[in-house]
Structure 1
Amino acid sequence: MKPIVARQTAVTAAVPDAGPTAAELDAIDREMPLILAEVELLDAQITTLDRVPNELDTRRIRRARNRVLAARRELTNRTAGTVGGAA
């Protein structure tokens, strides 16, 4: 049995794993409040998967949704302010 290998050189050069750039890290830092709010919402939703949500669960999910919306609004306003236009 003959091994099948490519006879041509690769079209694109392999980029070594250098990690995120400074700009990518800054973008992650700007989005971190939204990321944390979404994680909190997901956590609240996961707790109610195997049972009927009670009043406290409903409040927790509602508050987490409101935090996500507020974080999105804040991020959008900040982004629109730096770009110079409306989002």
Structure 2
Amino acid sequence: MIAALRADGTGLTSAPWVAADNTLMPIVNQVVVHDAEADEHFAVPLDLIVGIVQAKPVPDMSPPRYLLRQHPDPATMARLRRVATMH
């Protein structure tokens, strides 16, 4: 996880989502998704990822985490790319 302070004084947090069977994603502003096929990275707000892949919070985990069960398939990767905030 990376935390940064923007010029306007607000915070920004991000974490990577790379190819893996299971990822425990912390609560962050944006997730940096790695598309190995296209060899590119792009950022998507966590709330959009949760909605698109139907991720569920892990019960009783502190700090909270979402379980991302698998890296996105090509169709899901295309949906995520369309809502990306940074390429």
Q: TM-score by structure 1 length?
A: 0.22
Q: TM-score by structure 2 length?
A: 0.22
Q: Name whichever structure is richer in helix by fraction.
A: 1
